[in-house]
A and B are shown apart, each in its own frame.
Chain A
Amino acid sequence: MKDSTIISLKDINVSFDGEVIINNISLDIMDEEFITFLGPSGCGKTTTLRIIGGFLEPDSGDLFYEGNRINGTPPHKRNINTVFQKYALFPHLNVFDNVAFGLKLKKLPKAEIKKKVKYMLSVVDLKGYDKRSVSQLSGGQQQRVAIARALVCDPDVLLLDEPLGALDLKLRKDMQIELKRIQKMTKKTFVYVTHDQEEALTMSDRVVVMNNGVIEQIGTPTDIYNEPSNAFVADFIGEANILNATMIEDYKVNILGTEFKCTDAGFGKNTPVDVVIRPEDILVVPVENGIISGKVVNTVFKGVHYEMEVKCKNCTLLIHSTVSQSVGETIGMYVTPDNIHIMRKLFPTPYNEFEAVVSYSDEEENTTTIIIEGKEVEIKDRYFEKDAKLNIILPPTGIYIAGDGVGQIDDVYIESVIWKGEYNEIIVESDERKWLMHSAQDEQVATYAPICFDFKDAVITLKDDAEGENEV
């Protein structure tokens, strides 16, 4: 990896049919580095790759290649080659002609083409496969032909779009090492897209974690794993206990009602934060030596270690330990301060606060109907006059995912789902804003679902009424 930038993205935006796919992304890609875009499906990683490849023009923003703006340059004029998701080998050509495709277009002499193709086939371990038809090859071999076909053109940058997705586990592990070897040998910049966090950690010099069209974090695999910038990254990379906590003051954090020492500072006093503790960082100790204690509820042998679920207050913690503990036993737990990682909350407030106007109300029935994003939503057991402006504070428990067709707001985007030890903390995005909700159920990130509101525990005040006399 060199210090010079080869590709630079500046304030890139992309939307399809009014839906934001890439939200103001800026990124510098270094020469000769192996950089990976990691994120759940639909996070915008493949779209970003297609912009670099020239298959898609951003709605706004600039793309620079070695300092020159290359927006609008067609793919065949960029010195960038792509390994496509399903390889996209030409079925009417054999292995040799597939690999030679780019060189023939460059009108190189025949002898040179032959030499280069033979060499590249040996690099990807396919010596002697020249005359085979591509349809006779296995997935792994097709994969390697696709890599050879792209690399033989001697691009400065190679884009790889989930190239190992179709392979089985064993082959995938081999290919990961193989790809890294090829990258080191050829000294090319590899831009890799995957949703597999392990793949990203294994191969990359740097990882770009993406979600919902934005970059959540850029860093080395170690940084991303040990110092995740927020709960989404912590949850997406590896296994983690992510818990709600309060920063008491610098270097002191309250987790599960107990004060822990930590090494983070600068969050302010009594600030709600997320903490992440990796399962291997919770040490099992005798109860009297532990900072907190809990009861083992489940133990699974995983080969290298035991995976234990430990109930601590209402919260279930995940612990990896080489020593087995029997179910039902009470154990003490200890975490060293540098293994507690503090992060800012994903959602700015611990509740949902919004304004709404009363569209209809019924004094006898004691109900009020407000408009949320163009939809009428009824609030039971509260009465406010028509056209009154309301300020509503709705706790996360006041929103739930509804069944199809019965939601009060349809098709909200599930942006993140994070298990907080006792419930899932879910952030969903509707047309106009984001909502925080808690749910015992697991939901699939990057999908759409309808939501419903329950105003039972909401705090509702008239907007111009600072005294809040209508509070319940």
Chain B
Amino acid sequence: MKSKKLALPYILWMLVFVLVPLGMVVAFAIRDDGGRFTFEFISKAWGYRDVFLHSLWVALLSTTICLLLAYPLSYIISRAKARTQRTVIMLVMVPMWMNFLLRIYAWVVLLSKNGPLDSILGLFGVHVPLIGNTGAVVLGMVYEFLPFMILPLYTVMGKIDKSLIEAAQDLGSNGLKVFSKVVLPLSVPGIVSGVTMVFVPTASTFLVSQYLGGTDDIMIGDVIEKVFQTDRHTGSALSLCLMVIILLFIIVMNRFGDEEAVGV
């Protein structure tokens, strides 16, 4: 069939740039330089379990905050006039046009000691370290990934037919019931993709914690980057573990989404 022929370049691309490197990561993780099978590197990766846990904790915290911020905002945007919707979505996207690192640098400047925020707080006699702690890392993550939560939520909520909300009111629902019985269940697909799109990169990203976090805030992404420079095997083992964790997370999320959509 013609359509299959057209798909060939993409299949080739996937093979060369996705599957082969993936295979290489697995191979590096479970074989030593002599090519023998070994658990040595996986067990070395186990030594970093605290970093894994901390990364997942930061990711969970950031995702939760993103969801709490984005959900009401998306709902309000989806109910606004078409022109307002376009403008606000534009504003949400604008920061993404700037380089990732640049945006983190901006936060470094904003939060640094004797920086603008510190000085303002100083006027009120408040002196707290704004940078170099988990809070700053979470703040950076939320700032970076909030649009990835807003966009899928907004898309799903915009598709909820207004007459469904009217029907719910008509059948006796007050505002709260309309939300819990209609808006929330119908926006589950948006929550699932939003949470996935925020959780996965926050768990694996690097640099943010290096710039905004303290010495204890090192995340698994940073560890992988450092370790890889000296030891490809352990680096691969760490990557493999991270991938498995993320895969499990995605499976759980999708299962949850399916159940929500059918049941309730």
Most A CB contacts (10 A, CB to CB) among B161, B163, B172, B173 go to B172
Residues of B near A91 (CB, < 8 A) are: 186
Q: Which residues of A have CB within 8 Å of B264?
A: 92-93
- A55 and B163 CA atoms in complex are apart in Å by 10
Which chain A residue shows the least CB distance to B165? A88
Q: Quick check: A76 and B172 within 8 Å, CB to CB?
A: yes
Bits for B18-43, please: 1 = Cβ < 8 Å to A, else 0.
00000000000000000000000000
A106 at the interface (CB under 8 A from B): yes
CA distance A470 to B163 in the complex (A): 61
A81 to chain B, nearest CB (A): 6
Tell me, in angstroms, the Cα distance from A105 to B173 when the chains sit together: 7
Q: Which 8 A-B pairs have the closest CB atoms?
A: A102-B171, A88-B163, A88-B167, A75-B169, A105-B172, A76-B172, A82-B170, A92-B185
A150 to B171, CA, bound (A): 7
Task: Given A92-B261, A101-B181, decide whether A106 and B170 contact each other with a Cβ distance below 8 A.
Answer: no
For the complex, is A153 an interface residue (Cβ under 8 Å from B)? Answer: yes
Number of B interface residues, CB 8 Å?
20
How distant is B187 from chain A, measured CB to nearest CB, in Å? 10
Shortest beta-carbon distance from B159 to chain A in Å: 10
Select from chain A the residue with minimum beta-carbon distance to B184.
Answer: A92
Q: Number of A residues contacting the other chain (C-beta, 8 Å)?
A: 25
Contact (A106, B172) CB under 8 Å given A91-B186, A92-B185: yes
* Known A101-B181, A105-B177: A88·B171 in contact at CB below 8 Å: no
Does B207 lie at the interface of the complex (its beta carbon under 8 Å from any beta carbon of A)? no
Contact (A88, B166) CB under 8 Å given A76-B174, A81-B171, A105-B172:
yes
- CB-CB < 8 A to A55: which residues of B? 166, 169
CB distance from A125 to the nearest CB of B (A): 21
Q: Find chain B residues with CB under 8 A from A80 CB.
A: 170
Q: How far does the alpha carbon of A116 sit from the alpha carbon of B161 in the complex, in Å?
A: 27
Report how far A54 CA is from B164 CA in the complex, Å: 15
A88 touches B172 (CB 8 A): no
Decide if A84 is an interface residue (CB 8 Å cutoff).
yes
Selected A-B contacts with CB under 8 Å, 10 pairs:
A53-B170, A76-B169, A82-B170, A84-B167, A86-B163, A88-B163, A88-B164, A90-B167, A101-B168, A105-B181
B contacts, CB < 8 Å to A: 161, 163-164, 166-174, 177, 181-182, 185-186, 261-262, 264
A271 CA / B196 CA spacing, docked (Å):
78
Chain A residues near B169 (CB, 8 Å)? Answer: 54-55, 74-76
**A341 contacts B by Cβ under 8 Å:** no
Indicate whether A85 reaches chain B with its CB closer than 8 angstroms.
Answer: yes
A118 CB–B CB distance under 8 Å: no
A146–B186 Cα distance when bound, in Å, is 19
* B-side contacts of A86, CB under 8 Å: 161, 163
Q: What are the interface flags for A70-98 relative to B under an 8 Å C-beta threshold, 1 for contact and 0 otherwise?
A: 00001110001110111011111100000
Q: Given the complex of chains A and B, what is the CA–CA distance between A91 and B188 in angstroms?
A: 13
Interface residues of A in 286-342 (CB under 8 A from B): none
Whether A144 is near chain B, meaning CB under 8 Å from some CB there, is no
- Check: A195 CB closer than 8 A to any chain B CB: no
**With a CB–CB cut-off of 8 A, which chain A residues contact B185?**
92
Q: Return chain A residues, CB-CB under 8 Å to B172.
A: 76, 102, 105-106, 153
Shortest beta-carbon distance, A190 to chain B, in Å? 15
CA distance A15 to B107 in the complex (A): 50
Q: Inside 8 A of A84's CB, which chain B residues have their CB?
A: 163, 166-167
Q: How far is the CB of A371 from chain B (nearest CB, A)?
A: 34
Q: A88-B166, A92-B262 are in contact. List 13 more A-B contacts (CB 8 A).
A: A74-B174, A75-B170, A76-B170, A85-B163, A88-B167, A93-B264, A105-B172, A105-B173, A105-B177, A105-B181, A149-B171, A150-B170, A153-B171
Q: Which of A47-76 touch B at CB < 8 Å?
A: 53-55, 74-76
CA distance A129 to B217 in the complex (A): 57
